[in-house]
Structure 1
Amino acid sequence: MNLTHDFSDVIPVKINEEEPQLCQILYSDEYKETMGLLLALLQKKEYSERALELTQEGIELLASHYTIWNYRYNILLRLNKDLFEELDWCEQLALENEKNYQIWNYRQLIIERILELELEDDTRTKKFNPYHEYPILAAMLGEDSKNHHVWSYRKWLVERFQLYNDEREILFVDNCLNEDLRNNSAWTHRYFIKFGNQDENKDDINVKIDKEISFAMEAIKVSPQNPSSWNYLIGIYRKFKKSLIELESFCLQFADININEQTEDVIKSTFALELLAKIFLEKKETLTALEIFKLLEDKYDPIRKNYWQYERSKLEV
């Protein structure tokens, strides 16, 4: 450890090393010493500069250690530290721990505390700007465009600061889809920012519905076998209780169900086939739906054979 504070008065708590154990964890000496000191200070409820320094050491050793994050947060509040500086420190740590969830949960806690302080004293000169988060989010998603933890945090940011119709947010998700049309995380986020605002005017929603249906259809034309764009399209119809029958002619562009020797050449999308089965069920044409499920089971999606058999079993008498 490379610590600047003195811990000679602290007796480290022993890490669980009793014998026998089903699976003995071989902790390094540095880990045992750091965690032992942290547990000792935590038990004493010490909220000091040296405890703060030690939490950084502990987090750098094991960034997923929730207890240390919680301890660090409480120390910050007790010492009245600069929370904006803490956000800067957290950014660097996030870049070094791409798959860590606790970092983003901790970041939310810090931001919520900043907002609480702003409410308590509206004369504070330094206020939180949600756009401050955009560079780190762009950097993280640039490294891994499907990082679930970062997308979840971004969803929280949109919801917390009402960024649903924010031009920068819409441009970002558009760029993500331009780079990778199969990025399901980007499709999910697009759906959230387009339809997650419960306070939006009904007329505005209706215009948006039409635009997003067109957007999804154009994406399907580019990549007919992309499940994300089909799910987006169906999601809109389900959410706003629109009849799937409206999509029949569109689906037929990718799945001609006139069964003949050339059928294989005209089935461009198994997702179009599946949607057609649902459409025919909505039209009460059960026999046609059964034929489509059989096609999927035997020829076009046999990897999900059991699922298609189940779908047919619900319809067969």
Structure 2
Amino acid sequence: MHGRLKVRTTEEQKLLKEKENNKKLGLYKKGMTFILGSRRKDSYDEEAFKLSTQILQNNPHVYTLWNYRKEVLLIEIERRDKEPEFLIEEFLDTELRFVEQCIIISPKCYSAWHHRYWVLNNHPKPNWKEEFKLCSKFLARDDRNLHGWDYRRLIINKIGRILNEELKFSTDRIRTNFSNYSSWHYRSTLRTLDEDNLEEELDLVINAVYTDPNDSSAWFYFRWILSHKELLKEKCEKVLDDLMVLEQMEPDCKWVLIAKNWASQILSDDDNIINRKSYAECDLPKLIDMDPLRKARYVDELKKVTDSIGDNN
């Protein structure tokens, strides 16, 4: 009717989208052909370099173009040796600003992070301290980005960092968001677990699982602590007591039962095998009902415990 906007049907929208995508794909292929066809050992085409910038701004995951840009940067770095007045620092700083934009567009792009580190390693005056601040800013924006955590480790190797400062940083990030596997994993790389810090780590992770028992992130860190059996023999009973209290509060949480099973294994030496059997026979049948996708695993584990009892009798 007159005076009304025409609303496109789903099929029309689909055809328009497909047409638009085909146009973009055609431009992308044409651009890539032009860029790769312009490659030279001792020079580069400025128009091709600008075109690579445009493509990466739309899709930073085209790793071939990052490798192409490395070739261009190496040409310019060699140019500095022939022309001392050439401001290579300014050229590389421009590249760093460009990579930062790409990371903002796609924070989990491996190629962009790797390229940024490569540029800094080839920079005559890399500012690693400023880079560390930028990395912290990225993690504050998205602290579940494993690429940011990996990058942080690389930068720390350049500037050095006091252990307590990094422990505090990881603690702050964990307390901001317990559901952060990357933060927990990073913490496990900072120091070796020993008798001096065991209590601190146990308190932190127990607090986390009590706060959100259905989140798996802290439980994986909890299991990492439990893997240090030689440290936990004396504290294992207390850990089991804490888990049993949590079970009463959260009877439908499978992670509590799984953790009890982990902890009871620490007590599964010859003197405490009966104790291990009591936990297994109580918890594993519950897990079979609560976690049917892993039923065979729990059945097999229960059989192993039962058989071990028979072997000890």
The equivalent of 1:290 in structure 2 is 280
The question of whether the paired residues in 2 share the 8 Å contact of 1:148 and 1:185 is answered with: yes
The equivalent of 2:80 in structure 1 is none
Aligned length, in residue pairs: 267
Larger helix proportion of the pair: 2
Secondary structure, aligned partner of 1:284: helix
Give TM-score scaled by structure 2 length. 0.71
Counterpart pick for 1:180 among 153, 177, 180: 177
Instruction: Name the CA distance, whole Å, in 2 between partners of 1:35 and 1:177.
Output: 43
The equivalent of 2:114 in structure 1 is 105
Please report how far the alpha carbon of residue 88 of structure 1 lies from its aligned counterpart in structure 2 after TM superposition: 2.0
Counterpart pick for 1:149 among 144, 147, 150: 147
Instruction: Name the CA distance, whole Å, in 1 between partners of 2:139 and 2:250.
Output: 37
Task: Give yes or no for the alignment of 1:238 onto 2:233.
Answer: no
CA RMSD of aligned residues (A): 3.2
The equivalent of 1:129 in structure 2 is 128
The question of whether the paired residues in 2 share the 8 Å contact of 1:173 and 1:190 is answered with: yes
Residue 112 of structure 1 aligns with an amino acid whose one-letter code is N
Cα deviations by residue, 1:229-261 (Å, 9 ceiling, x for unpaired): 23323313425742356222332233269xxxx
Cα deviations by residue, 1:183-240 (Å, 9 ceiling, x for unpaired): 12211122223449xxxxxxxx543333222222333333344433233233134257
Give TM-score scaled by structure 1 length. 0.70
Counterpart pick for 2:259 among 263, 268, 275: 275
Change (3 A) 1:93 1:159: same
Secondary structure, aligned partner of 1:275: helix
Change (3 A) 1:252 1:240: closer
Please report how far the alpha carbon of residue 40 of structure 1 lies from its aligned counterpart in structure 2 after TM superposition: 0.5
Secondary structure, aligned partner of 2:98: helix
The question of whether the paired residues in 2 share the 8 Å contact of 1:63 and 1:97 is answered with: yes
The question of whether the paired residues in 2 share the 8 Å contact of 1:187 and 1:228 is answered with: yes
Please report how far the alpha carbon of residue 39 of structure 1 lies from its aligned counterpart in structure 2 after TM superposition: 1.5
Instruction: Name the CA distance, whole Å, in 2 between partners of 1:223 and 1:185.
Output: 17
Change (3 A) 1:295 1:159: farther
Cα deviations by residue, 1:30-65 (Å, 9 ceiling, x for unpaired): 213311111111267743544432321332243211
Change (3 A) 1:86 1:208: farther
Change (3 A) 1:180 1:61: closer
Cα deviations by residue, 1:289-312 (Å, 9 ceiling, x for unpaired): 4312122213x4445323312322
Cα deviations by residue, 1:239-289 (Å, 9 ceiling, x for unpaired): 5742356222332233269xxxxx866747533322332343423235324
Residue 210 of structure 2 aligns with an amino acid whose one-letter code is K
Secondary structure, aligned partner of 1:207: coil
The equivalent of 1:55 in structure 2 is 52
Stretch of structure 1 that moved more, 86-95 or 220-229? 220-229
Change (3 A) 1:91 1:133: farther
Change (3 A) 1:164 1:224: farther
The question of whether the paired residues in 1 share the 8 Å contact of 2:42 and 2:75 is answered with: no
Q: Percent identity?
A: 22
Please report how far the alpha carbon of residue 138 of structure 1 lies from its aligned counterpart in structure 2 after TM superposition: 4.2
The question of whether the paired residues in 2 share the 8 Å contact of 1:280 and 1:288 is answered with: no
Residue 187 of structure 2 aligns with an amino acid whose one-letter code is R
The question of whether the paired residues in 2 share the 8 Å contact of 1:158 and 1:164 is answered with: no
Counterpart pick for 1:31 among 28, 31, 36: 28
Counterpart pick for 1:74 among 51, 71, 74: 71
Secondary structure, aligned partner of 1:145: coil
Task: Give yes or no for the alignment of 1:311 onto 2:301.
Answer: yes
The equivalent of 2:3 in structure 1 is none
The question of whether the paired residues in 1 share the 8 Å contact of 2:38 and 2:45 is answered with: no
Instruction: Name the CA distance, whole Å, in 2 between partners of 1:148 and 1:71.
Output: 26
The question of whether the paired residues in 1 share the 8 Å contact of 2:43 and 2:75 is answered with: no
The equivalent of 1:248 in structure 2 is 237
Secondary structure, aligned partner of 1:297: helix
Change (3 A) 1:233 1:158: farther
Change (3 A) 1:159 1:295: farther
